[in-house]
Each structure stands twice: as structure tokens, then as C-alpha cells.
């Protein structure tokens, strides 16, 4: 007598979110990113559907970043010019999307003006037709000035803007809502705050299908397990019918992984840790691949070799099992 596989069934699914607007829909993007739609836990193809593959996007900055040399090396002099950097990611590294971090807007990191940054985004949209994610600089006062202006000049492109947080969400939500974009709701590794923030954003009229959750993950060895468990709990709640947690996840893997000592400590400091070049790449790739299995939909990454590893892993996970 054969054994029958017990299959879990769920009452709800993750919302589908589309980033980017093509020309025939009124935008200028050459492609769009579609995420979400899962009907069960990640990659259990025998009992649920993964309608849309998770995607990787490359993180770029409006200024040359203060990254370790082993991360800077694949980009070379292109790091000095945002448009050159973006073109390299698209043409050489075959990026599916870009995430522009406006670090230079921060008062302590250049204090770029609203007009400077709006012009940069306009030029980026004209020269690169990939779907875009736009992040502020992390200073609430400055972000409340620059992000609404950028939302206005990119109206009709259906970009993804971040981040709305519990103490500072109204200005960004209003701007994104008015100009037809999507929004990232950021919560500090707390399922209750994540849900409450989504409720607050929805109460302003933002459709749930235009919200993406940033659960603020950690890197391998730096709180990854706790972040993983929070993401799992949120997914289980969503599949059980909690509409305020049924949003796709975005994970800023590159940001977290390359802060880890293990990704950037040189071989003289830690002679038993192996090759610095390989170590940094693997630290980012392993962090990303772990969060894929917690339900990550969008992975914002940095090193092109790490992206290659993760893309192969995604293809493997998408095979029927």
C-alpha cells in the first residue's frame, strides 16, 4: 500500500504587484517586474502555485558609494556616474531592474537639492528603460522634500518608492498615491508593526496591490534567523486570510550582507577565512538564497557574481518538485 502525500491548502494568496509601466500602458519602460501571487509556502509546487518568479535587482547610488574594494571592483569607474553605472548593470550584467538609493541627498553626505535629484531620475528614465525602485536618503525631513518631487516627474511610470515607516508615512503615501506609483512599507522586524503600517497606508486610500513589505532583514550571521521567522509568520497569517499581511516582500540583501565583517575583512586580518573575493560574494548569495525560502519576492543586491549565483538558484527552485 502506497503512502499518500499530505498537502496543505490555504484560503488566501499574496497580492500581485507590478513595477514599471510599458509604452502601450502610458509609461516608457521596456519591461515590468511582476511579483506576488503565491498561494502557499515557497516553492512547494505540488501543493501551491508560485505564479511569478522572485526577481533580483541591482542597487545603484546617486554618488560614488563607500563600499569595500572587493565590491567596487566589478563596476570600476562607472561608480562615479549613476547613468554609466545603470547602463553597465543593464547591458553587461543583464539587470531586470534597478534600485536607486539617493544617498547624496542626506545633509551629511552631499545634501543634493531636490532639483538635482529630480533631474537625475528624469535622465535615468530617458536613458534606461528598466523598472525602477527609488529609495530616499534616510533623513525624514529631506526625503519628504525629494521623494514627492521625484514621484511627480516620474508620473505614469509606476515606480516603487521607499520607504514609508510608522513615524513618517503620510507625505510619501500621498505623493505616491497621487502619481500612480507603488510603495514600500518598512517595519523593524516586527509582524505587528508591519500589519499596523499597512493598515495606516491603506486607510489613506492606497490599494493593497500597490504595497510591498520591507521586513528589514539581517545578513547571514547577523540576525538572519529571526528575520526569517518573522517573514514566515507573516506569510502564514496572509495565507490564512489576513489581508493586511498579504503583500510581497522586498529584501535589501546587498545592504545587509556587505555590512558584515565576514564579507569585507581582508585576508591578513583573518587568514583562516579564505579568499576575500569569494567570501563576500558568497555571503551575499547565501543571505539572498535563504530569504528566498522565507518568501522573498524582490532581492535588492550589489555584486554581479552574487546575482548570478542567486539567479541560478531561483531557476532551480522554480523546477517542479
**Predicted confidence (pLDDT) at residue 1 exceeds the cutoff of 60:** no
Instruction: Encode pLDDT of 181-201 as tens digits.
Output: 999 999 999 999 999 999 999
pTM: 0.96
Give the residue ranges of DSSP H helices in the chain: 69-72, 82-91, 114-127, 140-153, 170-178, 191-203, 224-239, 253-257, 261-264, 276-292, 304-317
Name the pLDDT band for 141 (thresholds 50, 70, 90).
Answer: very high
Instruction: Encode pLDDT of 45-78 as tens digits.
Output: 988 888 999 999 999 999 999 999 999 999 999 9
* Domains contained in the chain, CATH given: 21-317 (3.20.20.20)
Instruction: Encode pLDDT of 263-275 as tens digits.
Output: 998 888 888 888 8
Amino acid at each position: 500500500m502506497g503512502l499518500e502525500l499530505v498537502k496543505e491548502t490555504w484560503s488566501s494568496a499574496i497580492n500581485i504587484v507590478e513595477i514599471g509601466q510599458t509604452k502601450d500602458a502610458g509609461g516608457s519602460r521596456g519591461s515590468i517586474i511582476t511579483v506576488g501571487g503565491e498561494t502557499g509556502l515557497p516553492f512547494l509546487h505540488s501543493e501551491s502555485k508560485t505564479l511569478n518568479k522572485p526577481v533580483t535587482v541591482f542597487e545603484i547610488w546617486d554618488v560614488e558609494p563607500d563600499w569595500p574594494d572587493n565590491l567596487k571592483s566589478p563596476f570600476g569607474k562607472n561608480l562615479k556616474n549613476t547613468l554609466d553605472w545603470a547602463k553597465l548593470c543593464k547591458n553587461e550584467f543583464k539587470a531586470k531592474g534597478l534600485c536607486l538609493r539617493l544617498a547624496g541627498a542626506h545633509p551629511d553626505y552631499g545634501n543634493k537639492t531636490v532639483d538635482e535629484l529630480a533631474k537625475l531620475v528624469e535622465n535615468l528614465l530617458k536613458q534606461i528603460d528598466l523598472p525602477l525602485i527609488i529609495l530616499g536618503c534616510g533623513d525624514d525631513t529631506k526625503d519628504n522634500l525629494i521623494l514627492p518631487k521625484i514621484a511627480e516627474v516620474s508620473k505614469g511610470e509606476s515606480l516603487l518608492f521607499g520607504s514609508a515607516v510608522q513615524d513618517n508615512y503620510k507625505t510619501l503615501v500621498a505623493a505616491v498615491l497621487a502619481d500612480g506609483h507603488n510603495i514600500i512599507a518598512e517595519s523593524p522586524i516586527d509582524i505587528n508593526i508591519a500589519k499596523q503600517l499597512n493598515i495606516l497606508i491603506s486607510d489613506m486610500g492606497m490599494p493593497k496591490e500597490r504595497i510591498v513589505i520591507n521586513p528589514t532583514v539581517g545578513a547571514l550571521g547577523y540576525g538572519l534567523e529571526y528575520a526569517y521567522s518573522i517573514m514566515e509568520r507573516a506569510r502564514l497569517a496572509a495565507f490564512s486570510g489576513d489581508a493586511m499581511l498579504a503583500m510581497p516582500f522586498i529584501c535589501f540583501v546587498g545592504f545587509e550582507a556587505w555590512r558584515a565583517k565576514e564579507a569585507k575583512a581582508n585576508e591578513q586580518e583573518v587568514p583562516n577565512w579564505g579568499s576575500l573575493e569569494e567570501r563576500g560574494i558568497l555571503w551575499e548569495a547565501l543571505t539572498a538564497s535563504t530569504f528566498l525560502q522565507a518568501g522573498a519576492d524582490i532581492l535588492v543586491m550589489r555584486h554581479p557574481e552574487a546575482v548570478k549565483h542567486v539567479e541560478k538558484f531561483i531557476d532551480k527552485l522554480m523546477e517542479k518538485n
